[in-house]
Amino acid sequence: MELITYQQVGSTQDVARQVTAAGHPLPFAIAAATQSAGRGRDGKSWNSPPGGLWLTTAFDVPSAAAVQQAAMAAAQGVAAVLTTQTGLQAVVKWPNDLLLHRRKVCGILAETLVAPERTTLLLGIGLNVNNAVSQQQLPRATSVSWELGHTLELEPITRAIVDILDLNIDILVQHGFHAFSAWMNDNLALRGELVTIEFNNQHDVGRVTGVSETGGLLLQQQDGSLSEISAGSIYLW
């Protein structure tokens, strides 16, 4: 996959939108040393100083239906690269974060651009690698270098993540999410814990039991029944 690099952009996600709109062949990836207007889910700002991995990949996909599944397929890929290159074992906080020792190290933003003849999947990856993470401002965040006690070369990690995302999205398109569901259930954060899921001003409370074959979060209710949550933000009760 072609990797296009910049020193500074507003947002790699926005640049990828612009490059796609200009008719650039898919797939491709946009990486930047810094972002001045990086963002995560629900428009939340994402601090993007030097030393982090700020990346967006763009893929041609059949439809916009599997956006959330794509975020989890991407999470599996990033986690695999971290394990291979650093030995660190990240777990997934459904639906789009990676944690190391219960602290956020990576956020993933999946969006689609729907045009009459093409649907484009944009996968934004924000991975704290060598960048400083303020424990006062972000007490629940960490970085790869902080966990390891030394810095790493960004280029090999970036290239490895681009390559595995290319592979994983192809697997997702060809075989569906069930190709990732077993891994998700083996590496799911907050399993057994009581949580609240917030979506469109609605709240669901339950105990995390796993992830379904379609990528929904399975919650056990107080009466023992299971419910499947398809979207939302998760908070400890």
Predicted model pTM = 0.92
**Token digits of residue 234:** 């998760």
**Token digits of residue 176:** 């569906």
Residue 201's pLDDT is 81
Residue 89's pLDDT is 97
Per-residue pLDDT of the chain (237 residues; tens, 9 = 90+): 999 999 999 999 999 999 999 999 999 999 999 998 777 665 566 678 899 999 999 999 998 888 889 999 999 999 999 999 999 999 999 989 999 999 999 999 999 999 888 899 999 999 999 998 866 555 689 999 999 999 999 999 999 999 999 999 999 999 999 999 999 999 999 999 999 999 888 888 999 999 999 999 999 988 889 999 988 889 887
The residue written with tokens 């681009």 in the block is 162
Separation between Cα atoms, residue 144 and residue 65, nearest integer Å: 32
Domains in the chain, CATH or no CATH each: 2-186 (3.30.930.10), 194-236 (2.30.30)
Residue 203's pLDDT is 87
